[in-house]
A and B are shown apart, each in its own frame.
Chain A
């Protein structure tokens, strides 16, 4: 059994295992065991990948397997990874692992909850290991539908509305994506005359430029809707705020990164010429995302909405970095994907823990929580400092790299956009410090909160895992950066060939 398909098989077996459990407690134990195995598998993959590269394998994608599926359409179950995919798989494994523990206290229909959550992660894992566009799309769609049930049944607030809005908008994105993918397929004849869905095959040929001009925006927007591209991001605030904790962690942490990953792996990798031509339009949109998300976060009073807008801003920064199309900026963008993924998972996890105790998410109803729940509060402060880019934590590394790469473009337009994006750091600092100040420091506003408990064991496990990852990347980013950089080379070379 090859190592990559295991990433899809382990969650499926976990789901089948949960089907046989009899009550909540058994279900969560099975889920925890399953996702721990998945995490071990991910770590194994990282080490296998590094050793494979050290031994001299320079193929673009490794661990490849390919089985013919629908022969007449040349659809294959083709899997393979490069360094970036390995990093994303590791991110997903960490977040689903911590997400299970953050949901330890779900009691209503908890078997169905864990099944839906793990099904969601199966779709995400499958997406990252696939090299065939059809298979990628299949897994991508599997990842969208459990969201509706997860938010609609276990969410809070206007959950039905948020769930429906999120599902329909993301399906709208995948509708555009579908047209784009079919268009890429029919333009993939190239020299050999054989149409193909395989990424590695299509990336070697030049798709005709007229086709590129139509299908690049479709594909980019299709993925961008998931990656919070302005103005297709409106599902995000309500969706994240209404979702239960683990779902927000998984969604903001991983699914939105799926959008960024797809944008560069499919849209930019396969259609570099159109990418260069049309980059400025999307740069404008992502620039607006970054700043608008940050300003939006300042206005919010609900913790989850603040974090949701913050996610819009940071995910906009990912797309921003990718659109700069040079090695440094793209390296930074992928680092930002991972860094923000872990960070936002930490935030949403903490918010869930705080809400579980105070039963309110409005910051002006809470105060002085540092005295009551020191462990959780310190974790929140660390998360906040990572978010505003404090050196030593992962946010700094990622953002710094993006901005250095972005500044390498000497023309006026890029410089202005870069300065605009950098200004978002200041705005980020405003809302982060404001929240930390009101929420954690100061007097205890609600005397009932005096006897709230601090983090339980499963909550400490969640937060410590995530903070270690953040600090690890912040203090020693080179191990991650090395994996990513060598895989970026083919993409950057392709893009550089078509510099506008």
Chain B
């Protein structure tokens, strides 16, 4: 294998190099405070993100187990942007005394999961897919249990590890059935060979169930609220946005290629799961008071909306899914960013504590409001465009009733997002959270999120670029 083809894995190699550099850098740093480590890592990753956008050759490696195409490069770049924002947001939390000894471990484990996601997205073979998904999920359990002093954190870690093991086990079972009936695990060969025999259909169902755990689809979502609530906020934002986004990407690719022959079957499955997910998650979200649980249910509902884009199996569908994940990254990280700033400063995570926030911290309230509006799909922020194109993609294939249910769920979701807006702007509070200046890292991350939300909608080049790279069934 020549060096040229090895360099097709530029993203992965660069990230592995960065992870090793971080490991050595920490040992090399003399001062006990290790003050320079966090900005050093952030700068390294920013360089990695930037390099990712430079033109790169595409091709297949390891006999088609690893497939690199413009589409997968785009997906990896989108994830990079999200991870960069997560890293910037974690800076303040990592500086806390209880986390001081574990700074480089956090970064290394995070990068390991990201490398796993890269391999997962570029997979051309089910074994590579399995390696990727395991690498992407298991270390997350360590991150979820990072706050050793809290019971809920440990609970989150255990639940995550159990969920990961169970879901990949089920997926693998399904994959084994597919192997048994077709004799190959390569995606490209399976696309032609898939015959929709009963055993293969069963294989698909198991595979779907395993993936549904990762994407948090009802009824496989029960781990999500507890893990999101227990894990540290920055890990939660990473989980809700990057982990889910990567899973959605590879799920879409696999559905549109490997399972393209049984499209009518999986359309039914996605129809039902989408309706269940949107509706149940929205209804549960209304009652939540803890903001992390609240955003957990909101994330589950957003996954239901993403399925609306997948169901058509069209180019527009894949484009709208990728576009929506990008916008979802900005919106969710914006909301989590505000919650993380306030939690780091005051330790308060309940909706009632946010009463009257506008009077004391107007800029934070505005940032939160914009993020919530983007999640709800209200113009002029990008969430409107994302949701609109998802609905259009579903309607293109005639699923009008599903679109109708989707818009009804948008209204229900608007209700609970407005509850937070109401708390910040309208409710009176004798004891609001006092005014404080946020640190620079948080400011930068929020500016990136808000900039992303505003620009991604109006700048149509982004959507057009994504659409050019997408493909349908």
The one of B319, B378, B408 in contact with A141, judged by C-beta atoms closer than 8 angstroms, is B378
Closest chain B CB from A107 CB (angstroms):
15
On chain A, the residues within 8 Å of B331 by CB distance are: none
On chain A, the residues within 8 Å of B391 by CB distance are: 178-179, 182
- B40 beta carbon closer than 8 Å to chain A: no
Known: A71-B464, A182-B391. 17 other contacts (CB 8 A): A72-B464, A73-B392, A75-B460, A134-B388, A138-B380, A142-B380, A145-B373, A148-B421, A149-B421, A167-B418, A168-B414, A175-B410, A175-B411, A178-B388, A178-B407, A179-B403, A185-B392
Whether A160 lies near B463 (C-beta < 8 A) is no
- A69 beta carbon closer than 8 Å to chain B: yes
Closest chain B CB from A483 CB (angstroms):
30
The one of A72, A142, A168 in contact with B411, judged by C-beta atoms closer than 8 angstroms, is A168
- A70 beta carbon closer than 8 Å to chain B: yes
On chain B, the residues within 8 Å of A138 by CB distance are: 379-380, 384
A354 to B319 Cα, complex, angstroms: 56
- B400 beta carbon closer than 8 Å to chain A: yes
On chain B, the residues within 8 Å of A134 by CB distance are: 388
- A190 beta carbon closer than 8 Å to chain B: no
On chain A, the residues within 8 Å of B422 by CB distance are: 152, 160, 164
With A148-B421, A182-B395 as contacts: A172 and B411 at CB distance below 8 Å: yes
- A477 beta carbon closer than 8 Å to chain B: no
With A141-B384, A164-B415, A171-B414 as contacts: A152 and B392 at CB distance below 8 Å: no
- B425 beta carbon closer than 8 Å to chain A: yes
Give A contacts to B, CB under 8 Å.
Answer: 69-73, 75, 134, 138, 141-142, 144-145, 148-149, 152-153, 159-160, 163-164, 167-168, 171-172, 175-176, 178-179, 182-183, 185-186, 214
A179 to B392 Cα, complex, angstroms: 9
A153 to B421 Cα, complex, angstroms: 11
Whether B379 lies near A142 (C-beta < 8 A) is yes
Closest chain B CB from A75 CB (angstroms):
8
A185 to B418 Cα, complex, angstroms: 30
Binary contact track B378-399/A, C-beta < 8 Å → 1, others 0? 1110001000110110011000
The one of B379, B414, B464 in contact with A167, judged by C-beta atoms closer than 8 angstroms, is B414
Q: Which residue of chain A has its CB nearest to the CB of B319?
A: A72
Whether A179 lies near B400 (C-beta < 8 A) is yes
A141 to B384 Cα, complex, angstroms: 9
A-B CB pair tally, cutoff 8 Å? 79
On chain A, the residues within 8 Å of B261 by CB distance are: none
- B221 beta carbon closer than 8 Å to chain A: no
The one of B395, B414, B460 in contact with A183, judged by C-beta atoms closer than 8 angstroms, is B395
- B10 beta carbon closer than 8 Å to chain A: no
Whether B426 lies near A145 (C-beta < 8 A) is no
A153 to B380 Cα, complex, angstroms: 21
On chain A, the residues within 8 Å of B388 by CB distance are: 134, 178
Closest chain B CB from A114 CB (angstroms):
16
On chain B, the residues within 8 Å of A164 by CB distance are: 415, 418, 422
5 closest cross-chain pairs (CB), A and B:
A175-B407, A152-B426, A182-B395, A70-B460, A141-B379
Chosen A-B contacts, 21 in total, with CB atoms closer than 8 Å, are: A69-B460, A71-B464, A72-B464, A141-B379, A145-B373, A145-B378, A148-B418, A152-B422, A152-B425, A153-B426, A160-B422, A164-B415, A164-B418, A167-B414, A168-B415, A171-B410, A171-B411, A175-B404, A178-B403, A179-B391, A182-B392
With A70-B460, A142-B379, A167-B418 as contacts: A149 and B384 at CB distance below 8 Å: no
Q: Which residue of chain B has its CB nearest to the CB of A164?
A: B418
On chain B, the residues within 8 Å of A152 by CB distance are: 422, 425-426
Closest chain B CB from A297 CB (angstroms):
29
With A138-B384, A153-B426 as contacts: A70 and B464 at CB distance below 8 Å: yes
Q: Which residue of chain A has its CB nearest to the CB of B395?
A: A182
A179 to B395 Cα, complex, angstroms: 8
Closest chain A CB from B78 CB (angstroms):
19
- B348 beta carbon closer than 8 Å to chain A: no
Q: Which residue of chain A has its CB nearest to the CB of B415?
A: A168
Closest chain A CB from B232 CB (angstroms):
33
Q: Which residue of chain B has its CB nearest to the CB of A142?
A: B379
- B345 beta carbon closer than 8 Å to chain A: no
Q: Which residue of chain A has its CB nearest to the CB of B408?
A: A175
On chain B, the residues within 8 Å of A214 by CB distance are: 400
Closest chain B CB from A223 CB (angstroms):
15
- B443 beta carbon closer than 8 Å to chain A: no
On chain B, the residues within 8 Å of A70 by CB distance are: 460, 463-464
Within 8 A of A (CB), among B348-399: 373, 378-380, 384, 388-389, 391-392, 395-396
- B467 beta carbon closer than 8 Å to chain A: yes
Binary contact track B408-438/A, C-beta < 8 Å → 1, others 0? 1011001100100110011000000000000
A141 to B414 Cα, complex, angstroms: 13
A172 to B422 Cα, complex, angstroms: 19
Q: Which of A75, A159, A175, A176 has the most CB of B within 10 A?
A: A175
Closest chain A CB from B144 CB (angstroms):
35
Whether B404 lies near A179 (C-beta < 8 A) is yes
A118 to B319 Cα, complex, angstroms: 35
On chain A, the residues within 8 Å of B407 by CB distance are: 175-176, 178-179
A333 to B422 Cα, complex, angstroms: 38
A163 to B316 Cα, complex, angstroms: 36
Whether B426 lies near A160 (C-beta < 8 A) is yes
Closest chain A CB from B366 CB (angstroms):
10
A164 to B407 Cα, complex, angstroms: 17
A71 to B319 Cα, complex, angstroms: 13
Closest chain B CB from A258 CB (angstroms):
15
Q: Which residue of chain B has its CB nearest to the CB of A123?
A: B379
A153 to B424 Cα, complex, angstroms: 11
Closest chain B CB from A142 CB (angstroms):
5
Closest chain A CB from B389 CB (angstroms):
8
A149 to B396 Cα, complex, angstroms: 35
Q: Which residue of chain A has its CB nearest to the CB of B407?
A: A175
On chain B, the residues within 8 Å of A175 by CB distance are: 404, 407-408, 410-411
A69 to B379 Cα, complex, angstroms: 16
On chain B, the residues within 8 Å of A71 by CB distance are: 460, 464
Closest chain B CB from A422 CB (angstroms):
37
Closest chain A CB from B386 CB (angstroms):
12
On chain B, the residues within 8 Å of A69 by CB distance are: 460
On chain A, the residues within 8 Å of B379 by CB distance are: 138, 141-142
Closest chain B CB from A14 CB (angstroms):
16
Q: Which residue of chain B has its CB nearest to the CB of A177?
A: B407
Within 8 A of A (CB), among B274-327: 316, 319
A72 to B388 Cα, complex, angstroms: 14
With A145-B378, A160-B426 as contacts: A72 and B395 at CB distance below 8 Å: no
Q: Which residue of chain A has its CB nearest to the CB of B414?
A: A171
On chain A, the residues within 8 Å of B467 by CB distance are: 72
Q: Which residue of chain A has its CB nearest to the CB of B359?
A: A109
On chain B, the residues within 8 Å of A185 by CB distance are: 392
On chain B, the residues within 8 Å of A148 by CB distance are: 418, 421
A142 to B384 Cα, complex, angstroms: 10
A148 to B372 Cα, complex, angstroms: 14
A149 to B421 Cα, complex, angstroms: 9
Closest chain B CB from A74 CB (angstroms):
11
On chain B, the residues within 8 Å of A159 by CB distance are: 426
On chain A, the residues within 8 Å of B392 by CB distance are: 73, 182, 185
A164 to B421 Cα, complex, angstroms: 11
A71 to B468 Cα, complex, angstroms: 11
A160 to B410 Cα, complex, angstroms: 20
Closest chain B CB from A176 CB (angstroms):
8
Q: Which residue of chain B has its CB nearest to the CB of A145?
A: B378
A159 to B384 Cα, complex, angstroms: 27
Q: Which residue of chain B has its CB nearest to the CB of A185?
A: B392
On chain B, the residues within 8 Å of A168 by CB distance are: 411, 414-415
On chain A, the residues within 8 Å of B460 by CB distance are: 69-71, 75
Q: Which of A167, A182, A183 has the most CB of B within 10 A?
A: A182
Closest chain B CB from A282 CB (angstroms):
20
Closest chain A CB from B12 CB (angstroms):
31
On chain B, the residues within 8 Å of A163 by CB distance are: 426
Q: Which residue of chain B has its CB nearest to the CB of A69?
A: B460
